Structure formats: C-alpha cells, structure tokens
Amino acid sequence: MRKLTYFIACSIDGFIGDPSGDASSMYAFVTEEFLEFLKTEYPETISVEGRRILGVDDAENQQFDTVIQGRGSYRLALDADITSPYAHLREYVASRTLKESPDANVTILSENVVGAVRALKAEDGGLGIWLCGGSRLAGELLDEIDELVIKTYPQVYGSGMPMFDSDFAVTDFTLDSVRAFDNGVLVRKYVRKR
C-alpha cells in the first residue's frame, strides 16, 4: 500500500497562505542549507521550472512518483503559463470547475476524489503520493493521509488559508522526526496514529 503524504509549507500559526492563498512571504527563508535539503531528500517537490533553475533537472524522485493538488494550487502554475508543473511525476488535479486537462500529463479528478486516491494508494510498487495542497482538498482527504511533512516557516500570519479546511475532526498523528535549520525553519514529520 502506497502512502499519501501531505508535504506542505505553513506559518507558525498553521496557515499555508494568506486569505487569497499567497505564501510568497515564505520564500525569504529558502536558504542554501534548506535548498540542499529539498534537492537531496525531496527533489520531486521542486517544480520543473525550479529544477531547471537549480540545475537538478535529472534528479531522481526520492519519496513520491505521483502528485495530487487542488485547483487553486494548480492555478498558480496555469497563471504562469505552465500546464505541467511537476512533469517528472504523475499529476492529478482535483477540480469541479476544470472539465478538460490542458496537458496530457495532468489528469483532472472532478468527482470521487477520495475513491481515486484510494485506488492510487492500492497500486503495487512505486513511491508515495504527494498531496501538494490546498486546504479544501487536504480537508477532504484527511482520512486518507498517512503522513504529514510540515515545513514550518518562522512567520505568524494571524489569518489566512488553514492547513485543513474541513469540519472539526480530531485526528491523531505521532511525531516521527524534527529537523531544524539555521534560518528558523522546522521540518516536522508525523505519521498517522493507528
């Protein structure tokens, strides 16, 4: 069984973006040390454009071979005229409004997203599945998430887009590891408590 991992950046107070979803203020904390971590341990989470800029176009996927994201997250790429931001992965976009995919590598999931994710998790072999965002999709898939990898940036937003936009539901996870960086960023890994 493959794992679904919500690998996400957030503020200290748990927001993945401002009220409009913008998280660009977090870019200030992307230092050489932190980039090296991403390039070696999670290179597949760097977009095609980012990989080209960093010179890691051919980096082998370490954790994931599939990505699923919501329409809002995908819209950021489309607004930059990029139709396949993670072409080195199988890409799925959950959207009730996008009816056709603008790219052959991107599959649109317009209904039964939970069922589609369960089918992906049940596939034999392969690496894990990366839940890229956003908060509504994470809320919808909360019961399917096996692992959280939270990159916490040393900022307080006060309000904005929460990590999970869902009905109240207590879900327990166990802390697996914490890595601290000199720039104040923490990367915490949690696994679902069974």
Provide the pLDDT for residue 46.
97
Place of tokens 């408590």: 193
Residue-number span of the structural domain to which 41 is assigned:
4-192
How many domains, the chain?
Answer: 1
Q: Model confidence over 102-137: pLDDT tens digits?
A: 999 999 999 999 999 999 999 998 899 999 988 999
Provide the pLDDT for residue 53.
94
Provide the pLDDT for residue 99.
85
Q: What is the CATH number of the domain that holds 30?
A: 3.40.430.10
pLDDT band at 48 (very low <50, low <70, confident <90, very high): very high
pLDDT band at 194 (very low <50, low <70, confident <90, very high): confident
| CA distances in angstroms from 135 to 53, 160, 165, listed in the order given | 28, 11, 5
| CA distances in angstroms from 57 to 165, 167, 188, listed in the order given | 33, 40, 26
Q: Model confidence over 9-24: pLDDT tens digits?
A: 999 999 999 998 889 9
| pLDDT greater than 90 at residue 56 | yes
